[in-house]
Amino acid sequence: MIRVILPPHLRGLAGVRGEVELEVEGPATQRSVLDALEARYPMLRGTIREHVTQQRRPFLRFFACEEDLSHEPPDAPLPEAVATGAEPLLIIGAIAGG
Amino acid sequence: MSKVRVLVGTRKGAFILTSDGKRKQWDVSGPHFAGWEIYHVKGSPADPNRLFASQTSGWFGQIIQRSDDGGKTWIQPGTPPGEPTTGPGGMPKGESNKFVYDTSAQTGKPLTTHQFYDGTQHPWEFKRVWHLEPSLTDPDTVYAGVEDAALFRSTDGGQNWQELSGLRGHGTGPRWQPGAGGMGLHTILLDPSNPQRIYIAISAAGAFRSDDAGKTWRPINRGLHSQYIPEPTAEVGHCVHRIAMHPSRPQVLFMQKHWDVMRSDDAGESWHEVSGNLPTDFGFVIDVHAHEPETIYVVPIKSDGEHYPPDGKLRVYRSRTGGNEWEALTKGLPQSNCYVNVLRDAMAVDSLDKCGVYFGTTGGQVYASADAGDSWAPIVRDLPAVLSVEVQTIP
């Protein structure tokens, strides 16, 4: 089981409160987790990754285990603690000022 | 008794204001989509309970929302949860927020580039939907004007979108350029007497017309004069802010350009200025009285550098002569220390008798007049900055 924490705007869009829990087949990677997330919540397609390029939208960042994973390859394994559900994958809107 | 439903898009959500035909007591619902920019909400003339909304965010991109019950509940038209999001060939299905520009059928490369602020050529990049225009006859068909400027159409209630790429591909694209607010397609007018005819306008490219339901397009900017561009009478490159039309005379168009209020009596083939005695002919909105095709409304704004009313007085100007002769409408509007703006999609009229006129401001007020502009009162005065106002008159 993989845990994902969405930013508030996307929680509202998906109609969820708190964390999202996902079952992911195969290795836990950014791509496999986001594929599972979008399969469960199709309204999130295009909001985290661009529709065509599947690239991370520029003002979003991915964090886990106090590490910035935003620039990791999409098929790189996520940290073991994320894969086992001990730690969540955080999707965060980049904030450039107050 | 008839009622009116005012659909308000703001920087932080949508609001729906409803009243009976007297238009004195108002119910306010919202914010819908709290925290998101709502560029536009508009109802289908063919089914007034069907509403489309453009929900957008610099972080999360574009969302299209649809209501089938007059705004009580909303859905994003698309694949329901649990169903495959890819088609039989493995390709992702179209979804309601998927706006993909057409490419050249011959080369697969982008159709064209446009001029960037610095004069260089720049690729088209989808940013958001500025304006949604539902079909006059089919509740499942809706047009979307987007930034960077292009026209899309959905024929399945907003689930899948296809570009009408004859507009970008007709040849003048490399001379289009963004206005200060981006390069948006903000005006879509459907001719009620001729389903083949569509008018659109783009900042800063100008006005265009199709006579074959959106397949082919050509510029209709003859008579426009824009001193701020290198060739003031160029075929394209004009910063048109808004065009309005009365449904009974679809060949007569009224335009608020960056500067100048213009009129065409021949479906855009030629334009002439009707700014007349306006205190300033800069502005964004323009609209036409529901029952008097020669009665038009504008809100003069001081200048392109100072986006607020001249002298701190919020005045709607009305012409009952189709332009040139204008009267200030001030009753009920602030006449001192008012420095709000009225954006291009933020004025609308209802079709009751007397005609109601509505507009929203960047200060969060939505003003209504139930007597064709003679007097005004705020329906609400503390919303987020208003981006758009539409009105439905419901029997």
Taking contacts as CB-CB distances below 8 angstroms, the residues of chain B near A46 are 61-62, 95, 97-98
Residue-wise pLDDT tens digits, B333-389: 999 999 999 999 999 999 999 999 999 999 999 999 999 999 999 999 999 999 999
Q: Is the per-residue pLDDT at A98 higher than 60?
A: no
List CB contacts of A95: < 8 A, sequence separation 6 or more.
Answer: none
Q: Is the per-residue pLDDT at B88 higher than 90?
A: no
What range does the domain containing B96 cover? 39-79+91-345
The answer to whether position B374 is within a domain reads: no
Specify whether the backbone of B168 is left (phi greater than 0), alpha (psi in -120 to 50) or beta.
alpha
* Range scoring the smallest mean pLDDT among B9-18, B45-54, B86-95, B169-178: B86-95
Which value, to the nearest 10 degrees, does the dihedral of the CA atoms of residues B23, B29, B35, B38 take? -50
Q: State whether A45 and B85 contact (CB < 8 Å).
A: yes
Q: Is the per-residue pLDDT at B91 higher than 70?
A: no
The answer to whether position B1 is within a domain reads: no
Structure tokens at B361: 């401001």
Please tell me the CATH code under which domain A2-93 is placed. Answer: 3.10.20.30
Beta strands (DSSP E) in B265-385 are 272-273, 282-288, 296-301, 316-319, 327-329, 347-349, 357-360, 366-369, 377-380
Q: Which residue has the tokens 């949508």?
A: B14
The answer to whether position B27 is within a domain reads: no
What was the pLDDT predicted at B325? Answer: 98
Using the CB atoms, write b or e for B134-168: b if 16+ within 10 Å.
bbeeebbbbbbbbbbbbbbbbeebbbbbebbbbbb
Across residues B55-63, what is the average pLDDT? 94
The answer to whether position B9 is within a domain reads: no
The answer to whether position B373 is within a domain reads: no
- Domains in chain A: boundaries: 2-93
Q: Which residue has the tokens 């987007």?
A: B146
Across residues B126-153, what is the average pLDDT? 98
Q: Which 3 state secondary structure label does DSSP give A32? A: helix
Secondary structure (H, E, C), B354-394: CCCEEEECCCCCEEEECCCCCCCEEEECCCCCEEEEEEEEE
**Min distance B122 CA to chain A CA atoms (Å):** 19
Quote the CA–CA distance of B238 and B224 in Å, as a whole number.
Answer: 7
The answer to whether position B291 is within a domain reads: yes
Q: State whether B85 and A94 contact (CB < 8 Å).
A: no
Percent of chain B clearing pLDDT 70 (strictly above): 96
Number of structural domains (chain B) is 1
Quote the CA–CA distance of B176 and B201 in Å, as a whole number.
Answer: 12
Across residues B188-205, what is the average pLDDT? 97
Q: Which residue has the tokens 């009665």?
A: B295
Q: Residue A35: closest CA among chain B residues belongs to which residue?
A: B85
Q: Is the per-residue pLDDT at B165 higher than 60?
A: yes
Q: Is the per-residue pLDDT at B79 higher than 70?
A: no
Taking contacts as CB-CB distances below 8 angstroms, the residues of chain A near B124 are none
Q: Which 3 state secondary structure label does DSSP give A12? A: helix
Q: Is the per-residue pLDDT at B34 higher than 80?
A: yes
Structure tokens at B85: 């999001």
The answer to whether position B22 is within a domain reads: no
Q: Residue B12: closest CA among chain A residues belongs to which residue?
A: A9
The answer to whether position B322 is within a domain reads: yes
CATH number at residue B106: 2.130.10.10
Residue-wise pLDDT tens digits, B99-119: 999 999 899 999 999 999 999
ipTM: 0.89
- Identify residue B253 by its one-letter amino acid code: L
Structure tokens at B94: 């179209």
Residue-wise pLDDT tens digits, B356-370: 999 999 999 999 999
Q: State whether B95 and A12 contact (CB < 8 Å).
A: no
**Min distance A11 CA to chain B CA atoms (Å):** 12
User: Comparing B137 with B2, which gets the higher pLDDT?
Assistant: B137
For the entire predicted model, the pTM comes to 0.95
User: Comparing B76 with B153, which gets the higher pLDDT?
Assistant: B153
Q: Is the per-residue pLDDT at B144 higher than 70?
A: yes
Q: Which of A39, A42, A57 has its CB closest to that of B95?
A: A42
| Closest C-alpha among A27, A25, A26, A35 to residue A4 | A35
Percent of chain A clearing pLDDT 90 (strictly above): 83
Q: Is the per-residue pLDDT at B75 higher than 70?
A: yes
Q: What share of chain B is helix, strand, coil (3-state, %, to 5)?
A: 0, 40, 55
| Closest C-alpha among B339, B333, B302 to residue B316 | B333
